[in-house]
Amino acid sequence: MACHSRPTTIVLSVEKKFYIETFGCQMNAHDSEKVVGTLLAKGYSQVDTPEEAGYVFYNTCSIRDKAEQKVFNRLQSFKRTGKGKIFAVLGCVAQQEGEKIFDRAPHVSLVAGSASYTKLPEMLIQLEAGNKRVTGLSLEATEAFDTPFTRRDNPHRAYLTIIEGCDKSCSYCVVPFTRGPERSRTSASVIDEATKLADSGYTEVQLLGQNVNSYRDPSPAGWDFATLLDRVGAVPGIRRVRFTTSHPRDFVKPIIDAIDANANLCNHVHLPVQSGSSRILEGMRRLYTREQYMERISWMRGARRPIAITTDIIVGFPGETERDFEDTLELLDEVQYDSLFAFKYSARPNTGALKLEDHISEEEKTRRLAVLNERQRAIQIRRNSELIGAVEEVHVEGRHHSLGQWIGRTSQNRTLNFSGHEAEAMIGTYLPVRVTRAGPHSLVGESVL
């Protein structure tokens, strides 16, 4: 390299700079952290805008059509001005659309799904050698993308992947196609990573997987998810363990027993129900009925600490009648969720639900979504107000400069912003805070120190 003339050196330095934008879920956010760590370790540097970068990476989501369109809009905006840059599409849209992306966006040179990221440095070398079209689309069930170079975005709460892929086949979902079959990491490598995180100052970890409940240690120790959860909570230095996401079919009582037995396991469970109608659940191929789902809820309600329960719901699944939708609204009243994410059904390529009849109009889906969100908002206002006067332990995550408040999060995963205590290095600490006000989405309080 030393013999290059000066202008070439400038070009090279731009080429070694990358910009990455991430769409979608926490799995994607964490994949991007791994990609960033891997590239930094190979001598690349990260920049804040695509304009400064030689490489522009989009780590994409295809769970709903809207998410998928976002990346094509981004790519479109660089069609003319992106000359000289290398555009890469990573993640779920890459896996789903494969080489078709080159036709749709000819200025893209790399298309790689999440199972191929270990090979990313080699793929970049191919591009640097002048190759114009590089793909990494194999979904071979190799080990989870495990890298010693993860560069985490949040200095206090760390994502930790325990299982990749999904072996369920919910009829609306692209994930089994984009992330492949389930692969669990060994318990030793999970505990090793949790220990390293604790040693480097992290006190909160979030175990990640498309279906963490079906975790099965591939090593002879053979731990199930409840055992893994308990052991991660016992790693010295770890004060909070969260996990996402759970499938009701594989959600077993020992998980609640573990939360009961170990105060480091957060009292929050995200348990996506998708619909309150057993008929629709069957069409979705969710493998449980409303009654079986409610049995899991009763385990949680019987726990020693109050467990916050959150969920995901899809409205307007093909064939969803007004009666089915009413069943979902009644389920909200029955469970009294602490929060939920609701989505309009979006038809996805390759999925079983494409073949179903009675697709619901966009207008009706929009109406149902609004009705559902309104119903839930009232529940949240009531539930959150019940906390006024209570003292909650918060993990301090940041500072709202404009409001003059600290940002905190409770074990139940509620945002509790507070004032009343000013000290150096508050961020990352745990403090008792009294709740003084409640809104539908967050709480406000005063430090009791």
172 binds ligand 5AD (CB under 6 A): yes
64 binds ligand 5AD (CB under 6 A): yes
The SS3 assignment for 158 reads strand
Q: Which residues pair with 443 in a beta bridge?
A: 416, 438
DSSP assignment letter at 361: P
345 binds ligand 5AD (CB under 6 A): yes
- Which one, 232 or 335, has the nearer CB to ligand 5AD? 335
Binding to ligand SF4 (CB under 6 A) within 171-190 occurs at: 173, 175-176
Q: Which residues contact 219 (CB under 8 A, 6 or more apart)?
A: 186, 187, 188
Q: In the structure encoding, which two tokens stand for residue 44, read together?
A: 């690349």
210 binds ligand SF4 (CB under 6 A): yes
Single residue of 34, 242, 247, 409 touching ligand SF4 by CB under 6 A: 247
Size of the site for ligand SF4 (CB under 6 A): 9
Q: How far is the CB of 156 from ligand 5AD (least distance, A)?
A: 25
Binding to ligand 5AD (CB under 6 A) within 294-333 occurs at: 312, 314
Give the Å distances, CA to CA, from 203 to 33, 58, 194, 422.
18, 30, 10, 21
Q: How far is the CB of 383 from ligand SF4 (least distance, A)?
A: 26
129 burial type by CB count under 10 A (0-12 exposed, 13-18 middle, 19+ buried): exposed
249 binds ligand 5AD (CB under 6 A): no
Q: How far is the CB of 214 from ligand 5AD (least distance, A)?
A: 15
179 binds ligand 5AD (CB under 6 A): no
DSSP string, 202-256: --EEEEE-TTGGG-B--STT--BHHHHHHHHHTSTT--EEEEE---GGG--HHHH
DSSP assignment letter at 277: -
Q: How far is the CB of 315 from ligand 5AD (least distance, A)?
A: 9
Q: Are 207 and 246 in contact (CB under 8 A)?
A: no
- CA-nearest of 279, 358, 378, 379 to 325 is 279
365 binds ligand 5AD (CB under 6 A): no
- Which one, 87 or 345, has the nearer CB to ligand 5AD? 345
Q: How far is the CB of 60 from ligand 5AD (least distance, A)?
A: 15
Which partner from the list ligand 5AD, ligand SF4, none does 348 bind, CB cut-off 5 to 8 Å by kind? Answer: ligand 5AD
Cα 26 to Cα 376: distance, rounded to the nearest angstrom: 23
21 binds ligand 5AD (CB under 6 A): no
Q: How far is the CB of 374 from ligand 5AD (least distance, A)?
A: 19
Cα 155 to Cα 211: distance, rounded to the nearest angstrom: 25
Single residue of 34, 290, 348, 365 touching ligand 5AD by CB under 6 A: 348
Q: How far is the CB of 70 from ligand SF4 (least distance, A)?
A: 20
Which partner from the list ligand SF4, ligand 5AD, none does 176 bind, CB cut-off 5 to 8 Å by kind? Answer: ligand SF4
168 binds ligand SF4 (CB under 6 A): yes
Size of the site for ligand 5AD (CB under 6 A): 12
Q: Are 352 and 299 in contact (CB under 8 A)?
A: no
Q: How many CB atoms are located within 10 Å of the residue 72 CB?
A: 17
Single residue of 78, 299, 343, 430 touching ligand 5AD by CB under 6 A: 343
- Which one, 64 or 157, has the nearer CB to ligand SF4? 64
Single residue of 20, 63, 394, 438 touching ligand 5AD by CB under 6 A: 63
Which partner from the list ligand 5AD, ligand SF4, none does 365 bind, CB cut-off 5 to 8 Å by kind? Answer: none
Q: Are 168 and 272 in contact (CB under 8 A)?
A: no
Q: Are 339 and 312 in contact (CB under 8 A)?
A: no
- Is the peptide bond prior to 245 cis by the omega test (within 30 degrees of 0)? yes
DSSP assignment letter at 186: P
Residues of this chain that interact with ligand 5AD (CB under 6 A) are: 63-64, 172-173, 272, 274, 312, 314, 343, 345-346, 348
Residues of this chain that interact with ligand SF4 (CB under 6 A) are: 166, 168, 170, 173, 175-176, 210-211, 247
